[in-house]
Structure 1
Amino acid sequence: MELEAWLNTRNGIAHRADALAAGFSAWAIATEVRADRVRVVRRSWLYTSRCSWELYSAAAVGGRLTCVSAAKARGLWTIKDPAIHVAVARNAAVRAVPGVRLHWSRPFVPASRFELIDPVENLLSEIADCQPFENAIVVVDSALRSGMVSSSQLSRWQLRSKAFGRLVKAASQFSDSGIESLPLVRLRRRGIDMRQQVRIDGHPVDGLIGNRLVLQFDGFGPHSDPARRRRDLAQDARLMTLGYTVLRFDYYQVMYDWELVESTIVAAMAQGLHLFGTPASH
C-alpha cells in the first residue's frame, strides 16, 4: 500500500513514527513529501488532503482533540461548538491559535503522543469543567448509550470536580440522542419526572409522564425518512386508541423553542392528561 493510501485509512494523518513502524522507509516518506502527495506539519505529522481541519489543528499545536471536539470525532452526540478544543501539556509553549481553545491540563488517563483524539475518559473529564451542563450531559449520555463507558465506571472515577459529579448523577443510558437527554434534564429541573424508554404496545416510547402522557422527540436523522415517519405516526395513532395522550416534538423545537415544548407539556399535565383513567393494558 502506498503511503498516501495508508494515511487515508487513518483519517488522513499519522505520526511519522507510526509510518516507519508500518514499514515505510524514510526515503519513501521523503519521496511522497517531495511529490506533494503527503505533507508535513510540526515536523513529525504526515497528512493528506483527507485530513480534517480539526485533526490538522491538533497536530499543529502538538496536542490532541479533547472535550466536544474529541466527542464529535468519536461519533458521540454533541451540541455544536465553533471552537476546536485541543488538550496540551501544562508546560507546553503554545501560542493562542484563532478558532482553537486550548486545554492546559493533566490527562485523567495516559494518552499516547501518537494519537490526536483524547480517550473517552479524558474528553468526558474535560467536558465537565469546560462546557455548560446541558452541552456536557448530552455527550455523557451518548457515551453511555454507545457503550464507551458504563454508569458503574463513571461512578468510580476518581475525579474531584463537582461539575463531573453533577453529570454522573444526572446521566442516563436510555437517551438515544441529545434530543432525548435535554428534555429529561430540563423537565427534571422543573420537578417533572419523565421515565424513558417505557415499552407500550410492544414499542418503547421516548418519555412517559404519569401513566398516560407520552412524549416523542424526533431528531434529524432517522426521522427524516418518510417510511419511518409513517411508522411513528401509526404508533402515535395506536397509542391514542389505547387511551394515551401523545405529544411529539422535533429537533428544532427542542433545541430552539423549548419554551413552547415545556408549556405544552405543563398545559397537558394541568388538564390531568398524564393521570386520568387507566389506559389499556400493555
Structure 2
Amino acid sequence: MDSLVDIVARLGGSAQAAQLLQLTTERKLRAAVQCGELERVARGQYALPSLGPHRLAALAYDGVASHVSAAHLWGLPLLAQPEKPHVTVPINRRVRRGRPAVLHWAPITSDERLARTTTLLQTVIDCARILPFGEALAVADAALRTGQLSLTELENAATGMRGFGRPLALQVAAAATPLAESFLESVFRGVLISAGITDFEPQVIVYDSAGFVARVDLGSRPIRLALEVEGYEFHGGPTAFAADCRRYDDLVAAGWLVLRFTYQQIFGDPAWVIDTVRAAVSLRTRSGALGPEAPRVETAADWAA
C-alpha cells in the first residue's frame, strides 16, 4: 500500500482529512503528522512540508502566495527573502488567526488557486506596490527575461491598476526591460532613474573599426560612457583577471570612459554613486566625447536582431 506521503503527493501536495481517511486510519494520519511526514496546516487540511512555508501559509489561509512570496516561488530575484509569507485571500474573506503571515485581499483566479500562487504578471504588479523602485524593477526585468511575460502585458496591467502603488507600478513598467542581466544591474539602473539620470541603455555593444570590442552593463552612446556593476565575486583567477583588464583597456582605446561600481557602493553609498556618474557625464559632455569618427555602438537587442 502507498504511504501517506505518496498519496498526498499524487493529490498535489495537500489533501483534506476526509480524502485521506478513506485510504488510511486516524491513528496513521496522526502518526504521519507527529513524525513530520505531513503537516496540519488548517482544520481538516494536511500538506507535505516540502511545499515550503509560502505555499503552506497559502493553504492555511485558503489563499495564494503573493507579492514577494510569489516572487520567491517564481525564482525572481529579491534583495532579501521574506521574513513572513505573503498571502492574498479573496476580497471580503474573514480569516482566523493562524500561522504568521502578511495578508492581502484581492480577487483570485481559479488558476492561481490551483497553483497556490499568483501569476507571473500579478506577482510583478504586486511587488511594484510594496518594494522600493530599484528592487521592483529587478523583479520586473527578471520576469520579462523569462519570456513568459511581455512588456505590453506589463504596461497594460500597470495602466489598469487602481489604488495604492499605481504610480510606482507605472514607473516600473516604463523602465523595465528583458535586456538587464542581473539583479544588481537592475537596481543600479533604478538608482540612476530615480535621480533623473535616464540616458543609459542596458547591455550596449561597442564596436571599433576592427569589430566587436565589448558589451557593457549600461552605456550612454552620445558621450561614450560605460557603467559596470561588480558583484561579490572577483575574477576567478589570473586568466579571467587578465581578460577583464584587456576588455576595459579595449573600451578606453575605443574612446570610452568606464566607471565600475560595487554592490556595497550601490546599496551603501548611492549618493556618491549618483554624484560620480553626474560628474562623469558632465566631463564627457564638456569634452565632446563623441567625435566624427565615433565607433559603431549597438544594444543587445540590436545585436540579437
Deviation string, structure 1 residues 81-105 (Cα, Å, up to 9, x no partner):
5342111122322246675211111
- Counterpart of 2:261 in structure 1 is 249
Cα pair distance change 1:113/1:26, threshold 3 Å: farther
**How is 1:152-163 mapped onto 2 (pairs within 5 angstroms)?**
152-157=152-157, 159-161=160-162, 162-163=166-167
Cα shift at 1:238: 2.0
For 1:253 and 1:72, how far apart are their aligned partners in 2?
Answer: 25
For 1:90 and 1:6, how far apart are their aligned partners in 2?
Answer: 32
For 1:229 and 1:280, how far apart are their aligned partners in 2?
Answer: 26
Alignment partner of 1:52: what SS? helix
Q: Which moved more, 1:84-93 or 1:131-140?
A: 131-140
Whether the 8 Å CA contact 1:174–1:197 is kept in 2: the answer is: yes
Alignment partner of 1:62: what SS? coil
In structure 1, give the amino acid aligned to 2:58.
Answer: A
For 1:219 and 1:28, how far apart are their aligned partners in 2?
Answer: 54
Alignment partner of 2:118: what SS? coil
**How is 1:140-219 mapped onto 2 (pairs within 5 angstroms)?**
140-157=140-157, 159-161=160-162, 162-163=166-167, 164-189=169-194, 190-201=196-207, 202=212, 203-209=214-220, 210-219=222-231
Cα pair distance change 1:34/1:249, threshold 3 Å: same
Whether the 8 Å CA contact 2:60–2:98 is kept in 1: the answer is: no
Whether the 8 Å CA contact 2:180–2:186 is kept in 1: the answer is: yes
2:23 to 26, 37, 47: 26
Could you tell me which runs of 5 or more consecutive residues in structure 1 were left unpaired when the two chains were aligned: none
Cα shift at 1:211: 3.5
In structure 1, give the amino acid aligned to 2:177.
Answer: S
Whether the 8 Å CA contact 1:187–1:193 is kept in 2: the answer is: no
Cα shift at 1:205: 1.1
TM-score, normalised via structure 1 length? 0.80
Alignment partner of 1:160: what SS? coil
Whether the 8 Å CA contact 1:3–1:29 is kept in 2: the answer is: no
Equivalent pairs counted in the alignment come to: 272
Deviation string, structure 1 residues 53-101 (Cα, Å, up to 9, x no partner):
3333222222221011111111112232534211112232224667521
For 2:188 and 2:110, how far apart are their aligned partners in 1?
Answer: 35
2:236 to 226, 239, 253: 226
| Pair 1:276 & 2:289 matched | yes
For 2:223 and 2:9, how far apart are their aligned partners in 1?
Answer: 52
**How is 1:6-17 mapped onto 2 (pairs within 5 angstroms)?**
14-16=13-15
Larger Rg: 2
Whether the 8 Å CA contact 2:228–2:261 is kept in 1: the answer is: yes
Q: CA RMSD in A?
A: 3.4
Q: Which moved more, 1:59-68 or 1:77-86?
A: 77-86
**How is 1:45-124 mapped onto 2 (pairs within 5 angstroms)?**
45-48=46-49, 50-80=50-80, 81-95=82-96, 99-107=100-108, 109-124=109-124
TM-score, normalised via structure 2 length? 0.75
Cα shift at 1:143: 0.6
For 1:6 and 1:89, how far apart are their aligned partners in 2?
Answer: 29
For 1:229 and 1:33, how far apart are their aligned partners in 2?
Answer: 57
In structure 2, give the amino acid aligned to 1:104.
Answer: W
Whether the 8 Å CA contact 2:65–2:86 is kept in 1: the answer is: yes
Cα pair distance change 1:79/1:242, threshold 3 Å: same
Q: Which moved more, 1:65-74 or 1:256-265?
A: 256-265
Q: Percent of aligned positions with the same letter in both sequences?
A: 23
